[in-house]
Structure 1
Amino acid sequence: MLYLLPAYLSENSPIDYFAPTIKDIIMNVDHYFVENEKTARKVIKFFAPEKKQPELKLFLLDKYSETADLKEAQKLMKEGVDFGLLSEAGLPCIGDPGNIIVGWSHKNNVKVIPVNGPSSFVLALIASGFNGQQFSFNGYLAIEKDKKKKEIQQLESLVEKTGFTQIFMETPYRNNPLFEDLTKFLNPNTKLCVAANINDPENEFIQTKTINDWKKQKPELHKIPAVFLIGK
C-alpha cells in the first residue's frame, strides 16, 4: 500500500489538528518517499516521537526524480512492502512531484490510500471570501520578470471574465518580491487575499483587500509560507 500522508503547514501546528490514525500508520511503516529528508524526519518525529529514526528507509522524490530513479523502491512495493509519501508541507501531490509514484502505483495495482490532512491552498480559499465553487490552483508563477507579469495579468483577466478564483504560491524567500509585483501589475480595485503562516495559531495572517488598500499596508512575508489568491 502507498499512504499519502500529510505534513504540518507550520511547526507550531497543534497535534490535535490531525487525525490519530496518522501516528498509527507511521508507527507501522518504515519506508517513505520524501521531497526532503530533513523535513520528513521532523514530520515523522512530530507525529510519532517514539518512532526509531534509524529504522526509516527514505527515498528521495523531488522535481528532478523520474520513475526510473525509483526502481529499488518500486521492487519493494511489488513485493508488498508498505510505503508512505510525504511532502514538505501539507498534502502530497499538490505543488510537488508525488504524482509520479502515485501514477506508477495505479498502473502496478498498488493500493493508494489518501490520509486526511491540511491543504494550504484549500484553507486559504475558504478563508478568502472568494468563489469556492469555481477556482484554479496554478502552483508557482514564472521567476523571470516579464513572464511573471504576463502570468499575473492573465490570472487577473480570468477572474474578471469568469469569476473563477485564481490561486498561486511562491518559494517563501521570494514572497516579498512577488507581493511587490502583484501591487504593480494588478489593477487598484482587484481583490487579493494573502494567507500566510496557515495553521500557526500565534502567527497566522489571512486578509483580503483591494490592491489599492494593500499598497497602504504591506505585509512582511519574507521566508514565511504563503498562498496568494485573486478573486471576487
Structure 2
Amino acid sequence: MAGTLYLIPTPLGATELDVVLPEATRRIAAGLTTFVVEHPKTARAFLKQVGTALPIQQLTLLELNEHTKPAELKALLAPLLAGTDVGLISEAGCPAVADPGTDLVRLAHQHGIRVKPLTGPSAILLALMGSGLVGQRFSFHGYLPARPEERQQALRKLEIRAEQDDAAQVFIETPYRNMAMLESILAACRDDTWLCLACDLTLESELVQSRRVADWRGQLPPIERRPCVFLLWRQR
C-alpha cells in the first residue's frame, strides 16, 4: 500500500509555530521521517522547531526546487510507492502554491497516491482577506516579467482584467525588486485603480494597506526586501 503525501505549510517568517500552525499539523510533521524539501537548511530549521520523533540527522530529506528536472521526480515518488508517508515542505507558506511542489503533487495523483493538504498560512489568501478588494473573484499570476517595459505591459493587462472581470488580480515579486514593481504600478496604472500592498504577513512588521494608485504616489512605504503580495482591482 502506498504512503500518503502530506503537504506541510511553514511560517512566512520568524514567527512562533503555535501562532500560525495548528497543533494537528505540527503533530503530523513531527511523526514523519521522510521529507521532500525546497532547501534542506531551512527545512531542518523548521523541523527542529517542530520537534521530530527522530533526530534531525536521521531524517531523509530529498530536494525539489526550481533546478529539479522532470525526469528526477519519479525518484522523489519512490518512498511513497514503497509505503512510506512523506511530507512536502516549501520554503515558506503552502506547498504547491507558487511552488515547485506542484509537479510532485500531480505525479502523486497520477499514481493513485493519497495527497493530504494540511492547514497553515497562505500569503495569497491572507493578503486577499486583508485587502478589502473582491474576495469572490480573483486571479493569481505569480511573478510578472522582470523587464520594465514587459512588466508595465503586463500590469496594464491585469488592470483591464480587474475591471472587465470585477476580480482582484494578485501577484508577487522577488523582495529585492519590490520597489521597482511598485514604481511600475504607479507608472502603468490609472489613478483610481485600487492597489493593496500586503507585506511581512503574520510578522510583527506586517503591513496591509489598500489605497487608490493616486493616493500611493508620494507616500511609498519601505517595502524593499520584505516578502510582499500585490493586489489590483478596479471598481465598476
Q: TM-score, normalised by structure 1?
A: 0.94
- What's 2:140 paired with? 137
Q: How does 1:116-135 map to 2 (within 5 A)?
A: 116-135=119-138
- Measured in 2, the distance between the counterparts of 1:180 and 1:134 equals 26
Q: Is the 8 A contact 2:9 2:90 kept in 1?
A: yes
Q: Matched residue pairs, number?
A: 231
Contact 2:192–2:214 (8 Å) recurs in 1: yes
Runs (5+) with no aligned partner, structure 2: none
SS at match of 2:217: helix
2:15 is matched with 12
Match of 2:29 among 26, 40, 52: 26
Q: CA deviation at 1:177?
A: 0.9
SS at structure 1 position matched to 2:180: helix
Partners of 1:19 and 1:102 in 2: CA distance = 22
Matches within 5 A, 1:1-232: 1-13=4-16, 15-48=18-51, 52-200=55-203, 202-231=204-233, 232=235
Distance in 1, matches of 2:83 and 2:51, equals 23
Report the Cα offset of residue 46 of structure 1.
Answer: 2.6
User: 1:97-128: per-residue Cα shift (whole Å, max 9, x none)?
Assistant: 11111111111121111101111010100110
Of 66-75 and 165-174, more deviation after overlay is shown by: 66-75
The alpha-carbon deviation at position 51 of structure 1 amounts to: 5.3
Percent identity reads 34
Please give the TM-score of this superposition, normalised by the length of structure 2.
0.93
| Structure 1 unaligned residues grouped into runs of 5+ | none
CA RMSD of aligned residues (A): 1.5
Deviation of 1:41 (Å): 1.5
Query: In the aligned structure 2, how far is the partner of 1:211 from the partner of 1:80?
Result: 53
